[in-house]
Chains A and B, each alone.
Chain A
Protein backbone atom coordinates (compact mmCIF):
# COMPACT_ATOMS: atom_id res chain seq x y z
CA UNK A 1 0.00 0.00 0.00
CA UNK A 2 1.34 3.42 -0.79
CA UNK A 3 1.56 6.06 1.92
CA UNK A 4 2.93 8.88 -0.21
CA UNK A 5 1.92 9.45 -3.81
CA UNK A 6 3.09 11.98 -6.36
CA UNK A 7 0.82 12.56 -9.31
CA UNK A 8 2.12 14.49 -12.33
CA UNK A 9 4.18 16.80 -10.16
CA UNK A 10 5.79 19.62 -12.10
CA UNK A 11 7.79 22.41 -10.50
CA UNK A 12 9.59 25.28 -12.15
CA UNK A 13 12.34 27.17 -10.38
CA UNK A 14 13.97 30.23 -11.89
CA UNK A 15 12.31 29.48 -15.23
CA UNK A 16 13.67 25.93 -15.26
CA UNK A 17 11.51 22.81 -15.08
CA UNK A 18 13.17 21.05 -12.17
CA UNK A 19 10.48 18.44 -11.58
CA UNK A 20 8.89 17.30 -14.78
CA UNK A 21 5.56 15.50 -14.59
CA UNK A 22 6.67 13.12 -11.86
CA UNK A 23 4.41 10.32 -10.70
CA UNK A 24 5.64 8.02 -7.95
CA UNK A 25 4.28 5.78 -5.20
CA UNK A 26 6.14 5.22 -1.96
CA UNK A 27 4.99 2.03 -0.25
CA UNK A 28 4.21 2.06 3.40
CA UNK A 29 6.86 0.60 5.72
CA UNK A 30 9.43 0.13 2.95
CA UNK A 31 12.91 1.55 2.53
CA UNK A 32 13.11 3.35 -0.80
CA UNK A 33 16.04 4.89 -2.60
CA UNK A 34 15.73 7.89 -4.86
CA UNK A 35 18.75 7.90 -7.20
CA UNK A 36 20.02 10.06 -9.98
CA UNK A 37 22.94 12.19 -11.06
CA UNK A 38 23.75 15.65 -9.68
CA UNK A 39 21.02 18.10 -10.52
CA UNK A 40 18.41 15.42 -11.27
CA UNK A 41 15.94 17.05 -8.89
CA UNK A 42 16.14 14.63 -5.94
CA UNK A 43 16.56 17.24 -3.18
CA UNK A 44 13.97 19.42 -4.89
CA UNK A 45 11.51 16.55 -4.70
CA UNK A 46 12.16 16.14 -0.97
CA UNK A 47 11.76 19.90 -0.34
CA UNK A 48 8.52 19.88 -2.30
CA UNK A 49 7.08 16.98 -0.31
CA UNK A 50 8.06 18.74 2.93
CA UNK A 51 6.57 22.01 1.67
CA UNK A 52 9.64 24.18 2.27
CA UNK A 53 9.56 27.86 1.32
CA UNK A 54 10.01 28.27 -2.43
CA UNK A 55 8.84 24.73 -3.22
CA UNK A 56 5.09 25.05 -2.78
CA UNK A 57 4.04 26.28 -6.19
CA UNK A 58 3.85 23.00 -8.09
CA UNK A 59 1.39 21.51 -10.53
CA UNK A 60 -0.09 18.08 -10.00
CA UNK A 61 -0.70 16.65 -6.56
CA UNK A 62 1.11 15.09 -3.62
CA UNK A 63 -0.99 12.89 -1.34
CA UNK A 64 -0.09 11.54 2.07
CA UNK A 65 -2.31 8.80 3.44
CA UNK A 66 -4.72 9.63 0.66
CA UNK A 67 -5.00 13.34 1.46
CA UNK A 68 -3.53 16.15 -0.59
CA UNK A 69 -0.69 18.08 1.03
CA UNK A 70 -1.26 21.11 -1.17
CA UNK A 71 -1.28 24.32 0.81
CA UNK A 72 -0.32 22.71 4.11
CA UNK A 73 2.49 24.42 6.05
CA UNK A 74 5.68 22.52 6.92
CA UNK A 75 4.74 22.06 10.57
CA UNK A 76 1.36 20.60 9.68
CA UNK A 77 2.94 18.10 7.29
CA UNK A 78 5.34 17.18 10.09
CA UNK A 79 2.50 16.75 12.57
CA UNK A 80 0.86 14.38 10.11
CA UNK A 81 4.06 12.35 10.09
CA UNK A 82 6.42 13.57 7.36
CA UNK A 83 9.92 14.75 8.11
CA UNK A 84 13.13 15.57 6.31
CA UNK A 85 16.80 15.09 7.16
CA UNK A 86 19.00 17.56 5.34
CA UNK A 87 22.09 16.60 3.38
CA UNK A 88 23.96 19.23 5.40
CA UNK A 89 22.12 19.62 8.73
CA UNK A 90 21.70 23.09 10.25
CA UNK A 91 23.82 24.32 13.14
CA UNK A 92 22.15 25.86 16.15
CA UNK A 93 24.38 28.08 18.20
CA UNK A 94 24.04 27.35 21.90
CA UNK A 95 21.09 24.99 21.53
CA UNK A 96 21.70 21.87 23.55
CA UNK A 97 21.41 18.44 21.94
CA UNK A 98 18.74 17.36 24.44
CA UNK A 99 16.61 20.41 23.60
CA UNK A 100 17.09 19.84 19.87
CA UNK A 101 16.38 16.12 19.93
CA UNK A 102 13.48 16.73 22.32
CA UNK A 103 11.96 19.52 20.19
CA UNK A 104 9.68 17.30 18.14
CA UNK A 105 9.85 14.22 20.34
CA UNK A 106 6.73 12.37 21.37
CA UNK A 107 8.34 11.37 24.64
CA UNK A 108 10.74 14.02 25.98
CA UNK A 109 12.06 12.03 28.91
CA UNK A 110 15.81 11.97 29.21
CA UNK A 111 15.72 8.19 28.87
CA UNK A 112 13.97 8.42 25.48
CA UNK A 113 16.35 11.12 24.20
CA UNK A 114 19.30 9.04 25.40
CA UNK A 115 18.05 5.95 23.62
CA UNK A 116 17.61 7.94 20.39
CA UNK A 117 21.25 9.01 20.59
CA UNK A 118 22.23 5.47 21.40
CA UNK A 119 20.47 4.28 18.25
CA UNK A 120 22.68 6.48 16.08
CA UNK A 121 25.82 5.32 17.87
CA UNK A 122 26.48 8.40 19.98
CA UNK A 123 27.13 8.16 23.72
CA UNK A 124 24.26 10.09 25.39
CA UNK A 125 26.41 11.10 28.37
CA UNK A 126 28.93 12.70 26.06
CA UNK A 127 26.47 14.44 23.75
CA UNK A 128 23.14 15.33 25.43
CA UNK A 129 24.48 18.47 27.10
CA UNK A 130 26.58 19.72 24.22
CA UNK A 131 25.40 22.32 21.74
CA UNK A 132 24.34 21.57 18.15
CA UNK A 133 26.89 24.08 16.88
CA UNK A 134 30.14 24.16 15.00
CA UNK A 135 31.93 22.19 17.69
CA UNK A 136 30.19 19.09 16.37
CA UNK A 137 31.54 17.44 13.25
CA UNK A 138 29.33 17.19 10.19
CA UNK A 139 28.91 13.45 10.78
CA UNK A 140 27.93 14.01 14.41
CA UNK A 141 25.37 16.62 13.42
CA UNK A 142 23.94 14.28 10.83
CA UNK A 143 23.51 11.54 13.39
CA UNK A 144 22.05 13.94 15.95
CA UNK A 145 19.54 15.08 13.36
CA UNK A 146 18.62 11.46 12.76
CA UNK A 147 18.27 10.96 16.53
CA UNK A 148 15.81 13.87 16.60
CA UNK A 149 13.84 12.09 13.88
CA UNK A 150 13.88 8.79 15.80
CA UNK A 151 12.48 10.61 18.83
CA UNK A 152 9.79 12.21 16.70
CA UNK A 153 8.52 8.81 15.53
CA UNK A 154 7.42 9.95 12.06
CA UNK A 155 5.62 7.93 9.40
CA UNK A 156 7.73 9.04 6.43
CA UNK A 157 11.37 10.08 6.61
CA UNK A 158 13.03 11.75 3.64
CA UNK A 159 16.77 11.47 4.17
CA UNK A 160 18.93 13.46 1.80
CA UNK A 161 22.25 11.71 1.15
CA UNK A 162 22.67 9.62 4.29
CA UNK A 163 26.31 8.96 3.38
CA UNK A 164 27.58 12.46 2.65
CA UNK A 165 30.39 13.42 5.01
CA UNK A 166 30.05 10.13 6.88
CA UNK A 167 32.70 7.48 7.45
CA UNK A 168 32.03 3.79 6.91
CA UNK A 169 31.41 3.00 10.56
CA UNK A 170 29.03 5.89 11.13
CA UNK A 171 27.21 5.03 7.93
CA UNK A 172 26.50 1.57 9.34
CA UNK A 173 24.98 3.28 12.41
CA UNK A 174 22.82 5.39 10.14
CA UNK A 175 21.58 2.30 8.29
CA UNK A 176 20.81 0.64 11.62
CA UNK A 177 18.85 3.71 12.70
CA UNK A 178 16.93 3.78 9.42
CA UNK A 179 16.16 0.08 9.89
CA UNK A 180 14.94 0.90 13.42
CA UNK A 181 12.61 3.52 11.94
CA UNK A 182 11.28 0.90 9.56
CA UNK A 183 10.87 -1.62 12.38
CA UNK A 184 8.75 0.98 14.16
CA UNK A 185 6.52 1.19 11.10
CA UNK A 186 8.01 4.14 9.22
CA UNK A 187 8.57 4.53 5.49
CA UNK A 188 12.08 5.66 4.56
CA UNK A 189 13.18 7.49 1.42
CA UNK A 190 16.95 7.73 1.03
CA UNK A 191 18.23 10.18 -1.56
CA UNK A 192 21.54 9.06 -2.97
CA UNK A 193 23.93 8.46 -5.80
CA UNK A 194 25.85 5.82 -3.93
CA UNK A 195 25.54 2.09 -4.78
CA UNK A 196 26.35 1.37 -1.12
CA UNK A 197 23.25 3.25 0.03
CA UNK A 198 21.16 1.88 -2.83
CA UNK A 199 21.94 -1.69 -1.64
CA UNK A 200 20.04 -0.97 1.60
CA UNK A 201 16.83 -0.13 -0.25
CA UNK A 202 14.01 -2.53 -0.97
CA UNK A 203 12.79 -0.45 -3.85
CA UNK A 204 14.33 2.32 -5.89
CA UNK A 205 13.57 5.14 -8.30
CA UNK A 206 15.95 6.62 -10.82
CA UNK A 207 15.53 10.26 -11.73
CA UNK A 208 17.23 12.36 -14.34
CA UNK A 209 16.49 15.89 -15.39
CA UNK A 210 13.42 16.10 -13.16
CA UNK A 211 11.90 13.01 -14.72
CA UNK A 212 11.40 9.47 -13.55
CA UNK A 213 13.56 7.22 -15.74
CA UNK A 214 13.18 3.82 -14.10
CA UNK A 215 11.90 2.13 -10.96
CA UNK A 216 12.17 -1.33 -9.46
CA UNK A 217 14.43 -3.38 -7.25
CA UNK A 218 17.68 -1.88 -5.99
CA UNK A 219 19.64 -4.34 -8.21
CA UNK A 220 17.74 -3.31 -11.30
CA UNK A 221 18.29 0.40 -10.65
CA UNK A 222 21.93 -0.20 -9.82
CA UNK A 223 22.42 -2.03 -13.13
CA UNK A 224 20.64 0.67 -15.08
CA UNK A 225 22.69 3.37 -13.38
CA UNK A 226 25.98 1.53 -14.07
CA UNK A 227 25.14 0.70 -17.67
CA UNK A 228 23.36 3.78 -18.88
CA UNK A 229 23.87 6.75 -16.56
CA UNK A 230 27.57 6.49 -15.96
CA UNK A 231 28.23 6.13 -19.69
CA UNK A 232 25.59 8.70 -20.65
CA UNK A 233 27.13 11.49 -22.72
CA UNK A 234 24.28 13.84 -21.89
CA UNK A 235 24.87 15.75 -18.75
CA UNK A 236 21.59 15.30 -16.91
CA UNK A 237 19.61 15.19 -20.12
CA UNK A 238 17.91 11.88 -20.81
CA UNK A 239 17.37 11.07 -24.47
CA UNK A 240 13.85 11.22 -25.75
CA UNK A 241 11.99 7.94 -25.57
CA UNK A 242 13.96 6.43 -22.72
CA UNK A 243 11.89 4.14 -20.53
CA UNK A 244 10.07 5.65 -17.59
Chain B
Protein backbone atom coordinates (compact mmCIF):
# COMPACT_ATOMS: atom_id res chain seq x y z
CA UNK B 1 0.00 0.00 0.00
CA UNK B 2 1.27 3.49 -0.79
CA UNK B 3 1.63 6.10 1.93
CA UNK B 4 -1.44 7.92 0.65
CA UNK B 5 -3.53 4.74 0.73
CA UNK B 6 -2.46 4.07 4.30
CA UNK B 7 -3.34 7.62 5.33
CA UNK B 8 -6.69 7.20 3.68
CA UNK B 9 -7.36 3.93 5.53
CA UNK B 10 -6.24 5.35 8.89
CA UNK B 11 -8.43 8.39 8.45
CA UNK B 12 -11.41 6.33 7.34
CA UNK B 13 -11.19 4.30 10.54
CA UNK B 14 -11.64 7.50 12.54
CA UNK B 15 -14.46 8.80 10.42
CA UNK B 16 -12.52 11.24 8.21
CA UNK B 17 -13.52 10.50 4.63
CA UNK B 18 -13.20 12.40 1.34
CA UNK B 19 -16.75 13.55 2.04
CA UNK B 20 -15.74 14.76 5.52
CA UNK B 21 -12.15 15.93 5.08
CA UNK B 22 -9.92 17.68 7.58
CA UNK B 23 -10.22 21.45 7.25
CA UNK B 24 -7.55 22.82 4.89
CA UNK B 25 -4.43 24.20 6.46
CA UNK B 26 -4.83 22.05 9.57
CA UNK B 27 -1.44 21.03 10.91
CA UNK B 28 -1.22 17.26 10.94
CA UNK B 29 1.04 14.30 11.48
CA UNK B 30 0.10 10.76 10.52
CA UNK B 31 2.14 7.81 11.70
CA UNK B 32 1.56 4.21 10.67
CA UNK B 33 3.66 1.83 12.74
CA UNK B 34 7.14 3.35 12.52
CA UNK B 35 6.57 5.43 9.38
CA UNK B 36 5.44 8.98 9.01
CA UNK B 37 2.90 8.67 6.22
CA UNK B 38 1.59 12.20 6.20
CA UNK B 39 2.52 15.60 7.65
CA UNK B 40 1.66 19.23 7.28
CA UNK B 41 3.10 21.93 9.47
CA UNK B 42 2.11 25.50 10.19
CA UNK B 43 4.37 28.43 11.16
CA UNK B 44 5.64 28.21 14.73
CA UNK B 45 5.11 24.45 14.97
CA UNK B 46 8.29 22.41 14.73
CA UNK B 47 8.22 18.65 14.40
CA UNK B 48 11.33 16.52 14.29
CA UNK B 49 10.71 12.81 13.82
CA UNK B 50 13.09 9.86 14.02
CA UNK B 51 11.81 6.59 12.65
CA UNK B 52 12.83 3.70 14.89
CA UNK B 53 12.52 -0.07 14.41
CA UNK B 54 9.36 -0.30 16.55
CA UNK B 55 7.96 3.21 16.29
CA UNK B 56 9.01 6.82 16.23
CA UNK B 57 10.57 9.45 18.43
CA UNK B 58 9.19 12.93 17.90
CA UNK B 59 10.14 16.32 19.22
CA UNK B 60 7.24 18.72 18.92
CA UNK B 61 7.74 22.36 19.71
CA UNK B 62 5.40 25.30 19.64
CA UNK B 63 7.55 28.41 19.58
CA UNK B 64 7.32 31.13 22.18
CA UNK B 65 4.18 33.24 21.89
CA UNK B 66 2.81 31.33 18.88
CA UNK B 67 -0.91 30.70 18.93
CA UNK B 68 -1.96 27.81 16.74
CA UNK B 69 -5.54 28.40 15.92
CA UNK B 70 -6.85 25.04 14.77
CA UNK B 71 -6.22 21.82 16.66
CA UNK B 72 -3.16 19.97 15.38
CA UNK B 73 -4.34 16.64 14.08
CA UNK B 74 -2.20 13.66 15.01
CA UNK B 75 -3.04 10.14 13.99
CA UNK B 76 -1.17 7.09 15.27
CA UNK B 77 -2.21 3.70 14.13
CA UNK B 78 -1.60 0.25 12.84
CA UNK B 79 -3.82 -1.37 10.28
CA UNK B 80 -2.60 -5.00 10.54
CA UNK B 81 -3.92 -7.37 13.16
CA UNK B 82 -0.60 -7.74 14.96
CA UNK B 83 2.34 -5.53 15.79
CA UNK B 84 3.82 -2.97 18.09
CA UNK B 85 4.06 0.79 18.01
CA UNK B 86 6.20 2.68 20.44
CA UNK B 87 5.89 6.44 20.38
CA UNK B 88 8.36 8.62 22.21
CA UNK B 89 7.32 12.25 22.32
CA UNK B 90 8.87 15.36 23.72
CA UNK B 91 6.44 18.19 23.63
CA UNK B 92 7.54 21.70 24.40
CA UNK B 93 4.93 24.42 24.45
CA UNK B 94 7.06 27.48 24.94
CA UNK B 95 6.28 30.52 27.02
CA UNK B 96 3.01 32.23 26.11
CA UNK B 97 2.27 29.79 23.27
CA UNK B 98 -1.07 28.17 22.73
CA UNK B 99 -1.90 24.91 20.99
CA UNK B 100 -4.26 22.03 21.09
CA UNK B 101 -3.79 18.55 19.73
CA UNK B 102 -6.45 16.14 18.65
CA UNK B 103 -4.79 12.73 18.62
CA UNK B 104 -6.48 9.68 17.23
CA UNK B 105 -5.02 6.29 17.97
CA UNK B 106 -6.57 3.77 15.69
CA UNK B 107 -6.18 -0.01 15.62
CA UNK B 108 -9.30 -1.04 13.78
CA UNK B 109 -8.26 -4.64 13.10
CA UNK B 110 -6.30 -5.34 16.24
CA UNK B 111 -5.86 -8.90 17.41
CA UNK B 112 -2.54 -8.48 19.19
CA UNK B 113 -1.11 -5.00 19.18
CA UNK B 114 0.93 -3.10 21.71
CA UNK B 115 0.83 0.68 21.62
CA UNK B 116 3.17 2.44 24.02
CA UNK B 117 3.57 6.13 24.42
CA UNK B 118 6.25 7.72 26.50
CA UNK B 119 5.84 11.44 26.61
CA UNK B 120 7.45 14.33 28.34
CA UNK B 121 5.43 17.49 28.15
CA UNK B 122 6.49 20.95 29.18
CA UNK B 123 4.04 23.80 29.15
CA UNK B 124 5.88 27.09 29.54
CA UNK B 125 4.95 30.07 31.64
CA UNK B 126 1.57 31.46 30.64
CA UNK B 127 1.27 28.89 27.85
CA UNK B 128 -1.75 26.76 27.20
CA UNK B 129 -1.91 23.25 25.81
CA UNK B 130 -4.72 20.83 25.45
CA UNK B 131 -4.40 17.25 24.31
CA UNK B 132 -7.42 15.23 23.37
CA UNK B 133 -6.70 11.57 22.69
CA UNK B 134 -9.41 9.43 21.17
CA UNK B 135 -8.94 5.73 20.66
CA UNK B 136 -10.63 3.63 18.03
CA UNK B 137 -10.19 -0.07 18.57
CA UNK B 138 -11.51 -3.17 16.86
CA UNK B 139 -14.13 -5.41 18.34
CA UNK B 140 -11.83 -8.17 19.55
CA UNK B 141 -10.03 -6.13 22.17
CA UNK B 142 -6.52 -7.24 21.23
CA UNK B 143 -4.80 -3.98 22.02
CA UNK B 144 -2.52 -3.21 24.91
CA UNK B 145 -2.29 0.53 25.35
CA UNK B 146 0.33 1.95 27.68
CA UNK B 147 0.45 5.76 27.69
CA UNK B 148 2.86 7.34 30.12
CA UNK B 149 3.54 11.03 30.50
CA UNK B 150 5.60 13.29 32.69
CA UNK B 151 4.21 16.78 32.60
CA UNK B 152 5.57 20.04 33.93
CA UNK B 153 3.40 23.11 34.07
CA UNK B 154 5.31 26.32 34.56
CA UNK B 155 3.93 29.42 36.21
CA UNK B 156 0.46 30.29 34.97
CA UNK B 157 0.43 27.44 32.42
CA UNK B 158 -2.74 25.55 31.56
CA UNK B 159 -2.91 21.94 30.52
CA UNK B 160 -5.97 19.95 29.75
CA UNK B 161 -5.91 16.34 28.71
CA UNK B 162 -8.80 14.13 27.74
CA UNK B 163 -8.53 10.44 27.05
CA UNK B 164 -11.50 8.79 25.42
CA UNK B 165 -12.06 5.17 24.51
CA UNK B 166 -15.68 4.47 23.86
CA UNK B 167 -15.85 2.67 20.52
CA UNK B 168 -14.63 -0.89 20.17
CA UNK B 169 -13.04 -2.97 22.88
CA UNK B 170 -10.42 -1.52 25.18
CA UNK B 171 -8.25 -4.62 25.47
CA UNK B 172 -5.82 -3.69 28.21
CA UNK B 173 -5.06 -0.11 29.04
CA UNK B 174 -2.58 1.23 31.50
CA UNK B 175 -2.49 5.01 31.79
CA UNK B 176 0.13 6.68 33.92
CA UNK B 177 0.31 10.47 33.97
CA UNK B 178 2.23 12.55 36.44
CA UNK B 179 2.08 16.30 36.50
CA UNK B 180 3.94 18.94 38.44
CA UNK B 181 1.95 22.12 38.78
CA UNK B 182 3.83 25.29 39.56
CA UNK B 183 2.35 28.57 40.75
CA UNK B 184 -0.99 29.63 39.28
CA UNK B 185 -1.01 26.75 36.82
CA UNK B 186 -4.16 24.84 35.99
CA UNK B 187 -4.37 21.12 35.30
CA UNK B 188 -7.42 19.23 34.11
CA UNK B 189 -7.33 15.53 33.31
CA UNK B 190 -10.33 13.64 32.08
CA UNK B 191 -10.60 9.96 31.19
CA UNK B 192 -13.73 8.42 29.71
CA UNK B 193 -13.54 4.73 29.05
CA UNK B 194 -16.11 2.08 28.34
CA UNK B 195 -14.95 -1.48 29.02
CA UNK B 196 -16.57 -4.74 27.99
CA UNK B 197 -15.66 -8.40 27.58
CA UNK B 198 -12.55 -9.02 29.68
CA UNK B 199 -11.10 -5.55 29.15
CA UNK B 200 -8.69 -4.39 31.83
CA UNK B 201 -8.29 -0.73 32.69
CA UNK B 202 -5.76 0.83 35.00
CA UNK B 203 -5.48 4.57 35.46
CA UNK B 204 -2.83 6.25 37.53
CA UNK B 205 -2.97 10.01 37.54
CA UNK B 206 -0.95 12.12 39.89
CA UNK B 207 -0.96 15.87 40.30
CA UNK B 208 1.60 17.60 42.48
CA UNK B 209 0.50 21.10 43.32
CA UNK B 210 3.86 22.57 44.23
CA UNK B 211 3.21 26.22 43.36
CA UNK B 212 1.00 28.71 45.14
CA UNK B 213 -2.54 28.94 43.75
CA UNK B 214 -2.02 25.94 41.49
CA UNK B 215 -5.26 24.13 40.65
CA UNK B 216 -6.03 20.63 39.46
CA UNK B 217 -9.02 18.46 38.65
CA UNK B 218 -8.72 14.73 37.95
CA UNK B 219 -11.84 13.24 36.46
CA UNK B 220 -12.46 9.59 35.54
CA UNK B 221 -15.71 8.30 34.13
CA UNK B 222 -15.76 4.60 33.47
CA UNK B 223 -18.52 2.23 32.42
CA UNK B 224 -17.90 -1.49 32.76
CA UNK B 225 -19.81 -4.48 31.49
CA UNK B 226 -19.35 -8.23 31.27
CA UNK B 227 -16.21 -9.31 33.14
CA UNK B 228 -14.17 -6.16 32.51
CA UNK B 229 -12.39 -4.50 35.38
CA UNK B 230 -10.97 -1.12 36.21
CA UNK B 231 -8.67 0.28 38.83
CA UNK B 232 -8.32 4.01 39.22
CA UNK B 233 -5.58 5.51 41.35
CA UNK B 234 -5.91 9.27 41.43
CA UNK B 235 -3.52 11.22 43.58
CA UNK B 236 -3.43 14.92 44.34
CA UNK B 237 -0.79 16.34 46.61
CA UNK B 238 -1.10 19.99 47.56
CA UNK B 239 1.97 21.41 49.20
CA UNK B 240 1.75 25.09 48.34
CA UNK B 241 -0.32 27.96 49.70
CA UNK B 242 -3.85 28.23 48.31
CA UNK B 243 -3.48 25.24 46.05
CA UNK B 244 -6.85 23.75 45.13
CA UNK B 245 -7.74 20.34 43.80
CA UNK B 246 -10.57 17.93 43.20
CA UNK B 247 -10.58 14.23 42.35
CA UNK B 248 -13.73 12.80 40.85
CA UNK B 249 -14.24 9.17 39.91
CA UNK B 250 -17.47 7.72 38.61
CA UNK B 251 -17.74 4.09 37.64
CA UNK B 252 -20.87 2.34 36.50
CA UNK B 253 -20.71 -1.42 36.80
CA UNK B 254 -22.86 -4.00 35.03
CA UNK B 255 -22.77 -7.78 34.88
CA UNK B 256 -19.72 -9.38 36.52
CA UNK B 257 -17.54 -6.32 36.09
CA UNK B 258 -15.30 -5.09 38.85
CA UNK B 259 -14.38 -1.51 39.73
CA UNK B 260 -11.95 -0.09 42.19
CA UNK B 261 -11.19 3.56 42.94
CA UNK B 262 -8.37 4.66 45.19
CA UNK B 263 -8.27 8.43 45.54
CA UNK B 264 -5.32 9.74 47.48
CA UNK B 265 -5.41 13.32 48.58
CA UNK B 266 -2.64 14.86 50.59
CA UNK B 267 -2.41 18.42 51.85
CA UNK B 268 0.77 19.85 53.35
CA UNK B 269 -0.18 23.47 53.54
CA UNK B 270 -2.85 24.88 55.86
CA UNK B 271 -4.27 27.15 53.15
CA UNK B 272 -4.53 24.44 50.50
CA UNK B 273 -7.74 22.51 49.88
CA UNK B 274 -8.35 19.23 48.07
CA UNK B 275 -11.60 17.30 47.81
CA UNK B 276 -12.51 13.95 46.35
CA UNK B 277 -15.65 12.21 45.29
CA UNK B 278 -16.04 8.63 44.15
CA UNK B 279 -19.23 6.91 43.12
CA UNK B 280 -19.16 3.29 42.06
CA UNK B 281 -22.18 1.19 41.49
CA UNK B 282 -24.76 -0.13 39.18
CA UNK B 283 -26.88 2.15 37.07
CA UNK B 284 -29.12 4.32 39.22
CA UNK B 285 -32.59 2.73 39.59
CA UNK B 286 -34.47 6.00 39.28
CA UNK B 287 -32.66 6.94 36.08
CA UNK B 288 -33.40 3.50 34.69
CA UNK B 289 -37.07 3.57 35.67
CA UNK B 290 -37.49 7.08 34.30
CA UNK B 291 -36.29 5.99 30.87
CA UNK B 292 -38.22 2.73 31.00
CA UNK B 293 -41.38 4.68 31.83
CA UNK B 294 -40.82 6.45 28.50
CA UNK B 295 -40.85 3.08 26.78
CA UNK B 296 -37.13 2.20 26.57
CA UNK B 297 -36.17 -1.39 27.28
CA UNK B 298 -33.65 -1.93 30.06
CA UNK B 299 -30.65 -2.38 27.74
CA UNK B 300 -31.42 0.76 25.74
CA UNK B 301 -31.95 2.69 28.96
CA UNK B 302 -28.56 1.53 30.31
CA UNK B 303 -26.88 2.46 27.01
CA UNK B 304 -28.31 5.96 27.17
CA UNK B 305 -27.30 6.49 30.80
CA UNK B 306 -23.77 5.32 29.99
CA UNK B 307 -23.66 7.52 26.89
CA UNK B 308 -24.29 10.46 29.20
CA UNK B 309 -21.71 9.38 31.74
CA UNK B 310 -19.02 8.98 29.07
CA UNK B 311 -19.86 12.14 27.15
Contacts and interface: CB of A to CB of B under 8 A. Distances in A.
Contact of B294 (A93, A104, A132): A104
Interface in B256-311: 284-287, 289-298, 301, 304-305, 307-311
Nearest to B289: A52
A104 B287 contact: no
Contact of B289 (A74, A100, A149, A152): A74
A90 B286 contact: yes
Interface string A73-111: 111011100111010011111111001100110000000
Contacts, number: 75
A103 B308 contact: no
B284 A90 contact: yes
A94 B310 contact: yes
A145 interface: yes
Nearest to B297: A75
A89 B291 CA distance: 11
B311 A95 contact: yes
Q: Binding site of B, secondary structure by majority: helix, strand, loop or mixed?
A: helix
Contacts of B287: 90-92
A131 interface: yes
A53 interface: yes
Contacts of A75: 292-293, 295-298, 301
A207 interface: no
B250 interface: yes
Contacts of B298: 75
A78 B294 contact: yes
Nearest to B298: A75
A79 B295 contact: yes
A94 B285 contact: no
B292 A74 contact: yes
Contacts of B307: 94-95, 99
Give the contact-size bracket for chain A: 20 to 34
Contacts of B285: 53
Contacts of A40: none
A78 B308 contact: no
A95 B292 contact: no
Given A74-B289, A86-B290, A92 B296 contact: no
A148 interface: yes
Contacts of B305: 92, 95
B296 A103 contact: yes
Contact of A96 (B292, B297, B308): B308
- Name, among A53, A75, A132, the residue most crowded by chain B CB atoms within 10 Å (CB to CB): A75
B308 A148 contact: no
B304 A90 contact: no
Nearest to A152: B294
A42 B305 CA distance: 28
Interface in A15-55: 50, 52-53
19 contacts: A74-B289, A78-B295, A82-B293, A89-B290, A90-B284, A90-B290, A94-B221, A94-B307, A94-B310, A94-B311, A95-B304, A95-B305, A96-B308, A99-B307, A99-B308, A103-B291, A104-B291, A131-B311, A132-B308
Closest 5 CB pairs of A and B: A104-B294, A95-B308, A94-B308, A78-B295, A74-B292
Interface of A: 50, 52-53, 73-75, 77-79, 82-84, 86, 89-96, 99-100, 103-104, 131-132, 145, 148-149, 152
Interface of B: 221, 250, 284-287, 289-298, 301, 304-305, 307-311
